[in-house]
Chains A and B, each alone.
Chain A
Amino acid sequence: MAAAAAAGTGGQTLGRSSFSRAASSKTASSSSSPTASGVKLGPNGAAFVSSGIPDLDRILGGGFLLGSVVMVMEDSDAPHHLLLLRAFMSQGVVHKQPLLFAAPMKGPRSFLGALPAPVASSKEDARQRAMAGGAAGDGRASDEGLRIAWQYRKYFGDERNSSAEHRDNKQEFSHDFDLRKPLERHLLNAQHIECLSTQDLDTLHDLQDRCSAFLSKHQRKEGGNLSAGRIAIQSLCAPQCGYFGKDWDMVSFLRSLKAMVRSSNAVAIITFPHTVLSDSFCKRWQHLADTLLSIKAIPDEDKDLAKLLTGYQDMVGFLHVHKVAQTNSQVPVILEASTFSLKLRKRRSLVLERLNQAPVDGSSGPSSGGSGSCSSSTQGSQLDF
């Protein structure tokens, strides 16, 4: 059935040649494996869906875990959390996974217009991408040629091999998205996207009912097909929501949402401006998250930070990974690094990189290091070198 659906959409989109490549690969995958498109099986009985950012999938060990609640702590000054949200939603739309979107704005459906389209959606683009990929590869190669000993970690051979392998899978599981290009209209007009404005809601009961109705279509069944649903809630505790201030209602909403998601094939991503919550409620929210991320924008002209970190010009912010969801295991995931720089490559595709601390020459070393950590007190301790 999935194959038929994919073929149908393939026929539909072939004329516009927007999507044929992904569709064909999807049919191939669905015939070869029983999993639905966009779902990857992992160890320990885990199933993942892509976050829409290939790097983030890799960092989290496969993607967002089905049945988990992902929370993103927003930066109070910049809307960088929307980048994550857009990528997540676009990936779901591309995979034709049902989506429920709630946001504190008048017309939440208009937000869909801002969703990015996958890179290489047409043949020309594919050719371009091949070239760009080659160029990027060259760029990377030349980069690597220029890098010096303090980055020797990058040279570990096996790592590169595995990333090459990943690139093959990536075609179907997660896409690179072009933030400058909007997603095609006909994808957005599909039936499986629901939108809800949280601005006018006085209580969270409506949202909860919508979520439970949405999730009831995705109950987890033994041996059933793995069609995944996605819930995206933007700024859940924003002050413009009618229920703002009802802290206990919000926490109990989260608790019941978590229980519902846990028993279904779905992922919920919730961003929240944590600064409007009191400390103790902020901690409660964090405890309720299965995967916890936080986003920090970086100040425009922080000279000390620019000196400290390579590639500072392309960075738009930092992503910090606090918690990684785990199924069926009590062992916590300890990442090698928990802070990553959020970069826009060529101003369009989002990449996450580990921080590379620039080498400092001996004379200015201690002073610049010191000033760096002072000025960037927000993340000074997170530079794990």
Chain B
Amino acid sequence: MEEYGGGDLLGEAMCAGARVVVVEDCVEAPAAFVLHLLLKRALAAGGGGGAALLALAHPFSHYDRILRKMGCNLSMHRKSERLHFFDLQAFPGGTRGGAIADSLAQLYSAVQRVVETYRAGENAGRLTVMIDDVSLLEVAANGSADDVLDFLHYCVTLTSEMNCLLVVLIHEDIYSSEDGVGLLAHLRYIADLVIKAAPLSTGLAADVHGQLSVVNKGMLIEQRPAKGQKVWNFHFKVKENGADFFYPGSRH
């Protein structure tokens, strides 16, 4: 805690080794901004990485305009095929009541193809596979959590075989009641890193939009860097061009 509010706390809190990142949020404190940050980082100029975005929540223009304000031109990345955008707002589409398992299998093979072509190219960086968000995938699957879980497990295999990073957004409060805990518990289990956004207990303020807790699960003690710790808690404020992270009560 020697740096008070300095630097990028989220970047420090995320260890490099994480392969599956689960972002949790709730109605009061949406965490879509974390996805935007991670997407920007994945496409950052230096790293030469790529991204595959499975967008169920918003159209491309939404991400494009937001990321543009953050200094990342998605249209350009899309043209240069570093970003692969899957517009799944109408997923599975076509016939009503078709077998969802088949649609998900097709989706997975599309993702796999993207990953393979990315690996075949001369790309140095890592590919990030991002899902926004899993709760809607479950809706698209008409409530069949098993099919969604199958799909997610397939995606997880990409991380180990193809050196991808899987980032998944899930609305945590949907699964807070005991009847529907399934998907969230599974996701937490397969996650290396859990980023959870929550509102302040005192309500939201204009300059503090909520708190983030970052839990490093996958990291073993000896692998941890000197400063690494298992759990980080800090506040955040979302801005147009990014987000501020700071420890409680330490704003300059």
Contacts and interface: CB of A to CB of B under 8 A. Distances in A.
B139 A262 contact: no
Contact of B238 (A278, A287, A330): A330
B139 A284 contact: yes
Contacts of A249: 142
A74 B174 CA distance: 20
A43 B136 CA distance: 29
A348 interface: no
Contacts of A287: 27, 135, 171, 174
B171 A252 contact: no
B238 A331 contact: yes
Interface string B218-237: 00000000000000000000
B180 interface: yes
Interface in A267-288: 278-280, 283-284, 286-287
A150 interface: no
Contacts of A157: none
A122 interface: no
B89 interface: yes
B179 interface: yes
A202 interface: no
Given A248-B142, A255-B136, A280-B179, A330 B27 contact: no
Nearest to A279: B177
A231 B191 CA distance: 41
Interface in A289-346: 292, 322-323, 327-332, 334
A262 B55 CA distance: 14
Contact of B209 (A255, A263, A292, A334): A334
B62 interface: yes
Given A205-B96, A283-B171, A252 B176 contact: no
B65 interface: yes
For the residues of A in contact with B, the DSSP-based class is: helix
A136 interface: no
A384 interface: yes
B121 interface: no
A360 to B, nearest CB: 22
Given A248-B143, A252-B142, A259-B89, A332 B177 contact: no
B60 to A, nearest CB: 11
B30 interface: yes
Given A259-B89, A279-B177, A330-B33, A322 B27 contact: yes
A332 B27 contact: no
15 contacts: A247-B143, A248-B139, A255-B136, A262-B58, A263-B59, A279-B176, A279-B177, A280-B177, A284-B139, A287-B171, A292-B27, A323-B27, A329-B240, A331-B239, A334-B204
